[in-house]
Amino acid sequence: MRASTFALALFSSLGSASAVGLLGFCLGATHADGTCKSQNDFELDFAALKPYTNTVRIYSLSDCNTLQNILPALKTSEFKILLGIWPTDDSHFAAEIAAMKKYLPMYGVNNIIGITIGSEVLYRKDLTVDALAARINTVKSSLAALGFGGVKIGTADSWNILITDAVRPVIEVSDLLLVNAFSYWQGEAPADMAHSFVDVSDIAQSKTFIESVKGNSTGFDFYVGETGWPSEGAAFQSATCNLSIAASYWQTAICGIRKWGINVFVFEAFDEPGKPSATSDTGVQVEGVEGHWGVFTVDRKAKYNLTC
Ligand SMILES: *[C@@H]1O[C@H](CO)[C@@H](O)[C@H](O)[C@H]1NC(C)=O
Ligand SMILES: *[C@@H]1O[C@H](CO)[C@@H](O)[C@H](O)[C@H]1NC(C)=O
């Protein structure tokens, strides 16, 4: 059904739509040439984002020494962060835990709104459901041992993964979940992009499913973990892109879902022109979009009006 009424019924049960959802940005840890961002680079990133938000999300702690560099930048810029731990192989996971144990006690957790263990790990089949749930529990115990047991832990995955019974064990151990949804990668025409994201399927379905598993548990946090629209590059099926379509996605999809009280991390803050071309679910190589998901240019200028 074609249905704002559907969304209305659904989201009105999710608590009052009075509070606007949080806006945050997904943040890369490298420059276009692949070199790592320093503390100062993160401070410049935060200064550019400050008029719009004070919250970002990252994907790894040990790669590029990101945790070491970003924690002091968060303090000086008064930003908050959703940290990410990359869990997919043993040695990388061990390096992530080691970075967490070394740097969190130095800076504390006041700027940390949670930690995701993996991003689209189940979608890519990098880990089984049980292995990911075990990794989440491992991080929980490590944090508790550091005296930071109150930090919320969970994962991020694609909306079509987080609506399946098979992933219940991961949902059950998570204090927060991030759901990723890209109308672009679903090949939606610009006329249907916001409708697909907000109303029909993606976010509404996964939020309903997750809440059916979590029941009455209080203190559980739901976020859109990644969404956005590229400002240039090739079309994917009916999904075309240019600057005005990206600006329209911001207004209709991102502002739209926030008005329902849903927290959103936008993918992504700044263009990453060094990224290779992407391959769709269906194996189609799509040229020219991966470097252009930024809401801001690589020079940290907003590409379009971000007022909701
Ligand atoms: C939540 O708890 C209330 C009170 O205990 C109960 O009536 C209600 O059925 C519960 N709802 C869910 C979804 O578990
Ligand atoms: C963007 O694409 C749309 C749909 O194809 C088109 O109507 C519009 O004129 C384009 N805008 C720009 C700035 O190229």
For residue 282, the model assigns a pLDDT of 85
Enter the tokens of residue 19.
Answer: 């509070």
Cis peptide before 268 (omega within 30 of 0): yes
User: Average model confidence (pLDDT) for the chain?
Assistant: 93
pLDDT confidence of 202, banded at 50, 70, 90?
Answer: confident
Give the residue, by CA position, lying nearest to ligand 2 atom 5: 240
pLDDT confidence of 198, banded at 50, 70, 90?
Answer: confident
pLDDT at 13 over 60: no
The ligand minimizing its distance to the Cα of 218 is 1
**For residue 136, which of 123, 110, 118, 124 has the smallest C-alpha distance?**
118
Q: What is the DSSP pairing of strand 80-85 with strand 285-286?
A: unpaired
Task: Indicate the range of 18-22, 24-28, 225-229 predicted with least confidence.
Answer: 18-22
272 belongs to the catalytic site: no
**Beta carbon of 218 within 6 Å of any ligand 1 atom:** no
Catalytic residue among 43, 96, 188, 226: 226
Q: Which residue has the higher pLDDT, 209 or 274?
A: 209
Q: Is 40 helix (H, G, I), strand (E, B) or coil?
A: helix
43 belongs to the catalytic site: no
Tens digits of per-residue pLDDT, 95-134? 999 999 999 999 999 999 999 999 999 999 999 999 999 9
Ligand 2 pocket test target in 240, 244, 303 with most atoms within 8 Å of CB: 244
Give the residue, by CA position, lying nearest to ligand 2 atom 3: 245
Length of the chain: 308
The ligand minimizing its distance to the Cα of 232 is 2
Q: What is the atom index within ligand 1 of the atom nearest the CA of 212?
A: 13
Residues 67, 106: Cα–Cα separation, whole Å:
11
pLDDT at 74 over 60: yes
pLDDT at 176 over 50: yes
- Helix, strand and coil percent figures for the chain, each rounded to 5: 40, 15, 40
pLDDT at 11 over 60: no
Give the residue, by CA position, lying nearest to ligand 2 atom 2: 242
Task: Indicate the range of 46-60, 79-93, 200-214, 266-280 predicted with least confidence.
Answer: 200-214
Give the residue, by CA position, lying nearest to ligand 1 atom 4: 216
For residue 18, the model assigns a pLDDT of 61
pLDDT at 14 over 50: no
Domain 5-292 of CATH type 3.20.20.80 = yes
Phi, psi of 115 (to 5 degrees): -135, 130
Q: What is the atom index within ligand 2 of the atom nearest the CA of 240?
A: 5
Q: Where do the structural domains in the chain lie, given as residue ranges?
A: 5-292
Ligand 2 residue neighbourhood (C-beta within 6 Å): 190, 240, 242-245
Q: What is the atom index within ligand 2 of the atom nearest the CA of 242?
A: 1
pLDDT at 5 over 90: no
pLDDT at 171 over 50: yes
For residue 281, the model assigns a pLDDT of 83
Catalytic residue among 120, 232, 272, 290: 120
**What distance in angstroms lies between residue 237's CA and the mean position of ligand 1's atoms?**
43
For residue 217, the model assigns a pLDDT of 75
pLDDT confidence of 215, banded at 50, 70, 90?
Answer: confident
For residue 200, the model assigns a pLDDT of 66
Residues 205, 58: Cα–Cα separation, whole Å:
25
pLDDT at 48 over 70: yes
pLDDT at 192 over 90: yes
**What distance in angstroms lies between residue 177's CA and the mean position of ligand 2's atoms?**
35
pLDDT at 15 over 50: no
For residue 87, the model assigns a pLDDT of 97
**What distance in angstroms lies between residue 245's CA and the mean position of ligand 2's atoms?**
7
**What distance in angstroms lies between residue 78's CA and the mean position of ligand 2's atoms?**
38
Contacts of 202 (CB under 8 A, 6+ apart): 159, 160, 179, 181, 183, 186, 196
**What distance in angstroms lies between residue 242's CA and the mean position of ligand 2's atoms?**
6
pLDDT at 10 over 90: no
Enter the tokens of residue 66.
Answer: 């990101």
Q: What are the start-end ranges of the E strands in the chain?
A: 23-26, 55-57, 80-85, 112-119, 153-158, 176-180, 221-226, 263-266, 278-279, 285-286
The ligand minimizing its distance to the Cα of 13 is 1
Q: Which residue has the higher pLDDT, 304 or 12?
A: 304
pTM for the predicted model, two decimal places? 0.92
Q: What are the start-end ranges of the E strands in 215-307?
A: 221-226, 263-266, 278-279, 285-286
**What distance in angstroms lies between residue 12's CA and the mean position of ligand 1's atoms?**
17
